[in-house]
Amino acid sequence: MELKPCSLIPSTRAPAFAGGSCSGFRPTGVLEGVTGLPVGLHLRFLFAGTSNANGKLRRRRDCARSLWFIFLSLQLILAIGGPPLWAAERLTIATSALNMLTTPLWLAKDKGFFLKYGLDAEPIYIPSGTMALQALLSGDIKVAMAAGSPVVNANLQGAPVRIIAGNANFYPVAFFSAPEIRDPRDLRGKKVAVTRAGSSSYTATIILLRKFGLEEGKDYTILQLGSTQNRLVALTKGMIQGTTLSAPESIMAKNAGMKVLIPVNEMKRVGVTIQHQAVAAPDRALRESRSATKAFLMAYLAGVREVYRSKEATMQSLGKYTRISDPQVLSASYDESYEAIEKEGALNEEGIQVILNEISKTDSRALKARASQFFDPTLLQELAKEGFIKSLWQGGK
């Protein structure tokens, strides 16, 4: 809303307010947005029945009343709706997956949590955690939801980026295979797909198949096929014989007759406890845009709460962003994955250490690194100290 200087001299160019006018006064959009009526109509109604005296005193009084009315209206808008849209800070957020684990971000957008905390936020999809980190480091994006592995890799190479919250602190994803594969060892000489080298799916696959005596390059071939959707298509068409799939693609793979070779609970048993998904931000954003980054975290955690409290709302957002309309797939996706989402954004040093152990086989810098150096827990600590996180979960799920 723009307020220009108010003149006490009548003007035929300005709207008449109760017989006088405020020349150059141009309230735009605010009152019309609240009631659907033009501003002038509000003010004529408010001052209907007042005298049409032409004296200078009357015009001063009318102009003051008009300004007072606008001021009170703005106070009402702020009290009801939180920060107005024109005051919201723009924030672009990268996400590297279209699955259940991303629903807190989508719910924060759909339910207005970002606006509630003063952000005009827009999530964008980049089909790899490694690529999402590249976009984050370019400066165009302030926050990314990506796998832990590329964050660790980037940091080891000197990139100023930290994990500020955990999204999924273990690998809650099943390994699927073609129907003819009966045992993980049957993948010897076969093709296995991941998103990209260095990604979470890559690290988890390497760790997992090594448990069964299989080494990348020697015993099987890795193909970098990008998104979960691409890998599902490749599996069902026989282009690959194995890959990890998260919901909703895991449900679709089952429906298509693909085999759950290693279920989620087996992933945990064999020790694939990596920092799977996390929220990352560059050091510069944590210094120069700290309030916006903190506001993002508040909205994101409110989105997590909504996932746990409303299956229906979560299914709606999941269907909207994945373009899946089958209610059975959406419902099964929720049931399979929602509990993998970390409720309070806790950070997982053990999961980072597993990633470091794997990277150290090819990068000696990982041997000297400490898991804690990849985190910045200060925003979570502030929110906990302020009682924000506790207040989200009062009353249980």
6-11: long-range pairs with CB below 8 Å, 24+: 6/63, 6/66, 6/67, 8/56, 8/59, 8/60, 8/63, 9/59, 10/54, 10/59
Tell me what pLDDT residue 131 has. 84
Please answer whether residues 397 and 309 qualify as being in contact, where contact means their C-beta atoms are separated by less than 8 angstroms.
Answer: yes
The model's pLDDT over 241-297, given as tens digits with 9 standing for 90+, comes to: 999 998 899 999 999 999 999 988 787 777 677 888 999 999 999 999 999 999 999
CA atoms within 13 A on the CB side of 314: 30
Does the structure show a pLDDT above 90 at 39? no
Distance, CA of 266 to CA of 344 (rounded, Å):
25
pLDDT at 185: 95
Q: What is the pLDDT at residue 199?
A: 81
9 — pLDDT class (breaks 50, 70, 90): very low
pLDDT tens for 160-177 read 999 999 999 888 889 999
pLDDT band of 358, cuts 50, 70, 90: confident
pTM of the model: 0.70
Q: Who wins on pLDDT, 130 or 189? A: 189
Query: What percent of the chain clears pLDDT 70, i.e. is strictly above it?
Result: 77
Q: What is the mean pLDDT of residues 47-75?
A: 56
Q: Which domains, ranges and CATH numbers included, belong to the chain? A: 16-81 (no CATH), 87-170+275-392 (3.40.190.10), 174-270 (3.40.190.10)
Rounded Cα distance between 381 and 257, Å, is: 46
On the question of pLDDT at 36 being above 80, the answer is no
Q: Is residue 20 pLDDT above 80, yes or no?
A: no
Task: Report pLDDT digits (tens) over 62-88.
Answer: 666 666 566 555 555 444 444 554 568
Nearest Cα residue to 198 out of 163, 234, 161, 152: 152
Show contacts of 392-397: CB within 8 Å, 24+ apart: 392/301, 392/302, 392/305, 393/305, 393/343, 393/344, 397/308, 397/309
Residue percentage of the chain with pLDDT more than 90: 57
Task: Report pLDDT for 59.
Answer: 62
Over its C-alpha atoms, the chain yields an Rg (Å, rounded) of 27
